[in-house]
Amino acid sequence: MKALKWLLGPYMLAVVVAAFLWPQPAKGFIGESSRIVFFHVPCAWTATLAFIVAAVASIIHLAKRDVGSDEAAAAAVRLGFLFSILATVTGSIFADVMWGSFWNWDPRETSIVLLLFLYAAYLFLRGAIADPERRGVFCAAYALFSGFVMPFLMFVVPRVTASLHPQTVINREGKILMDMPTKVVFFTALAGFTALFFWMWDLDRRLERMKRTVQGLERLE
């Protein structure tokens, strides 16, 4: 595991270098703006993955009522929220280059804002309930509900109305519309971001566990 963490550094550095040097800019995009696909889509994918992980951890928490699964869900939501913000920011940079404005209320932009609100509410809910048992159950139920809403916001809503957003990855043809170098760098970046998420998720859970241990020791003294 430790070796993988050490390898992730040079791996992602290679992804960054390849993203800017290897594939040619895609046709139909202004300048080099298409290169953002190597960062924007992995951020959106990582956010989706994080919210799925949160929903699964919440199901486990509702079944077992253990502290670990509650903390796992909370850590996944925190990271999903972070990666959603990164996806929104990178998307806005692309929007400014391609469409002349950072924000256009495009269906995809609107749906990610709703997603951010949905998971921000989870974090508010978590902060509002002091009793750990009640907090765990309420938050797990809410994360599960959000887990059902999230696919509609990420995959369905942006496609039922006309959108400016490129349909490179998910489209009606069911094909990834990229040339081979772009595809290689894209999937390498996806794998790297996925590994980064699981590492950060592990760190967040361990930090929470450590906080609990310290609080327990302080109560003993």
The residue whose two tokens read 């696919």 is 151
Helix (H) or strand (E) holding 193: helix 180-220
57 neighbors 49 (Cβ within 8 angstroms): no
Q: Among 158, 189, 200, 201, which residue sits at the site for other proteins (rule: CB under 8 A)?
A: 200
User: Which residue reads 């594939």 in tokens?
Assistant: 23
CA distances from 204 to 5, 60, 71 (A): 15, 18, 9
Report 37-56 residues binding other proteins (CB under 8 A). Answer: 39
Find the shortest distance in angstroms from Cβ 152 to other proteins: 31
Q: Are 50 and 79 in contact (CB under 8 A)?
A: yes
| Span interacting with other proteins, options 19-27, 65-73, 133-141, 178-186, rule CB under 8 A | 19-27
3 binds other proteins per the rule CB under 8 A: no
Is residue 206 within the footprint of other proteins (CB under 8 A)?
Answer: yes
∠ CA(66), CA(68), CA(50), 5° rounding?
120
> Minimum distance between the CB of residue 20 and other proteins, rounded to whole angstroms?
4
By CB under 8 A, name the one of 8, 59, 85, 141 that touches other proteins: 8
Q: Does 4 bind other proteins (CB under 8 A)?
A: no
- Residue 124 and residue 57 in contact, taking contact as beta carbons nearer than 8 Å: no
Q: Return the structure tokens found at 166.
A: 């490129």
Q: How far is the CB of 51 from other proteins (least distance, A)?
A: 21
Interface with other proteins (CB under 8 A): 5-6, 8-9, 12-13, 16-17, 19-21, 32, 39, 199-200, 203, 206-207, 210, 213-214, 217
